[in-house]
Structure 1
Amino acid sequence: MTTQKTVYVALGLEGSANKLGIGVMRHTVQPDGSTKADVLSNVRRTYVTPPGEGFLPRETAQHHREHVVALVKEALEKANVGRRELDVICFTQGPGMGAPLSSVALVARTLSMLWDVPLVGVNHCVGHIEMGREITGASNPVVLYVSGGNTQVIAYSERRYRIFGETLDIAIGNCLDRFARVLKLPNDPSPGYNIEQAAKRGQKYIELPYSVKGMDMSFSGILSHIEALADTMLSNGECTPEDLCFSLQETLFAMLIECTERAMAHVGSQEVLIVGGVGCNLRLQEMMGQMVAQRNGHVFATDERFCIDNGIMIAQAGLLAYRTGHRTPIEASTCTQRFRTDQVYVAWRD
Structure 2
Amino acid sequence: MSWLVTGGAGYIGSHVVRALREAEMEVVVLDDLSTGFEQFLPPGVAFEHGSVLDAKLVDHTLHEHDVDGVIHVAGFKYAGVSVERPLHTYEQNVSAMVTLLKCMEAVGADKLVFSSSAATFGTPDVDLVTEETPTMPESPYGETKLIGEWMLRAAGAATGLKHTSLRYFNVVGSGTDDLFDASPHNLFPLVFDMLLRGDTPRINGDDYPTPDGTCVRDYIHVADLAQAHVAAAQRLASGESVERVYNLGSGGGTSVRQIMDTVREVTGIDFEPTIAPRRAGDPARIVASGELAARDLGWEMRHSLRDMVESAWRARQAAGAAYPAR
Q: Same fold (TM over 0.5)?
A: no
Question: Looking at both structures, which has the greater relative contact order when contacts are Cα pairs under 8 Å and sequence separation is at least 6?
Answer: 1
Please tell me whether Structure 1 or Structure 2 has the larger radius of gyration of its CA atoms: 1
Q: TM-score, normalising length from structure 2?
A: 0.36
Structure with greater strand percent: 1
Q: TM-score, normalising length from structure 1?
A: 0.34
